Amino acid sequence: MNIGILGAGSWAIALAVLLEKRNHSISLWEFNQEDAQMLSERREHPTKLPGITIPESITITSDITVPILSSDYILVVVPAQTVRATMKTINEVVDQNSIAAIKGWILASKGIECSSLSLLTEVVTQELSVVDSSKQVVLSGPSHAEEVSRGIPTTVVAASQNNELAVEIQNQFSTDSFRIYTNNDVVGVELSASVKNVIALAAGICDGLGFGDNTKGALLTRGMVEMCRLGRAMGAEEMTFSGLAGFGDLITTCISQHSRNRRMGELIASGLTMDEALNKMTMVAEGVATTKSVYNLAQKYNIDMPITTEIYKALYEDKSPIEALKDLMRRESKPERD
């Protein structure tokens, strides 16, 4: 199988290394020409995924036409807020017949576009008219690049409205350390992948403030409630949120030392502003932009999402994390299932 990977961050590299072991032909696209040259020469990303060798058989390029014209399947692993720009570029430099010839587009990016509040599958369809939902799969679950690249076992889901395509990805991408289940709830899986990063920011703030296990357990549970509320409003299946893409990824992202969103929360708790904290990050914390998207979706659908609201205020209105916590704890008393 010929697979093109758009993006060359830690998750993209991890997937490239994983899939190369299945003897697939891999081309890896890096937007920045200097970074692409560095990766080609060093065969390693010294800051994003140090210690992981990129096999020589993997083609690394800054020319986006290379993976598009040479691949049967395309993995989208660019930052969520750049997916639209990437699709626009493809539309401009690749003919429609070549785009239509791609058998499947697998989205491994996680987030919701801020400007339009669109899910990433929607963004792809909006920009590439020949790519409808039957050609898209969302790959998500507890899968930090640092562990996947080292063959540490995990399980994820491949969600698509086209079950045959989901099964094809399941069969071709699974390894002894990377087990894939199929799912047909694309909206639920995409929302899970996005909202869990907002809750991970809150988890990092809790860690940064020195709170304990009780706090973390309560946060994850009530965070899941918010995820389900938004999912119901947007037509997702509630069972999805208790699965790998939902609770599985939520737990991982909120407790892991590898979680960039949890780390971002720690920096906010230390007293840094959002911009100051972002400047200290070496990788993209998708939860920052996603917090704005999820907050606006909550307003759009008139949903009560208090944790999301307080994280939004901490990030975008410079609200003190301590005051945010106090406001959460002092909310009007109500039944748990209300």
| Distance of alpha carbon 33 from alpha carbon 60, whole angstroms | 10
CB atoms within 10 A of CB 60: 24
Tell me the two tokens of residue 89: 């570029």
| Long-range contacts formed by 231-237: CB under 8 A, 24+ apart | 231/187, 231/188, 231/191, 231/192, 233/301, 233/303, 234/187, 234/191, 234/297, 234/301, 235/187, 236/185, 236/187, 236/188, 236/191, 237/185, 237/188
| Distance of alpha carbon 103 from alpha carbon 113, whole angstroms | 25
Tell me the two tokens of residue 230: 């938004």
| Distance of alpha carbon 315 from alpha carbon 293, whole angstroms | 13
| Distance of alpha carbon 338 from alpha carbon 333, whole angstroms | 10
CB atoms within 10 A of CB 292: 19
Tell me the two tokens of residue 202: 């809150």
Q: Which of 196, 216, 280, 313 is catalytic?
A: 196
Verify whether residue 280 is a known catalytic residue: no
| Distance of alpha carbon 265 from alpha carbon 257, whole angstroms | 12
Backbone angles phi, psi at 181, to 5 degrees: -105, 155
Yes or no: say if 118 and 297 are a contact pair by the CB < 8 Å rule. no
DSSP string, 159-218: E-S-HHHHHHHHHHH--SSEEEEEES-HHHHHHHHHHHHHHHHHHHHHHHTT--HHHHHH
Residues annotated as catalytic (active site), given as ranges: 196
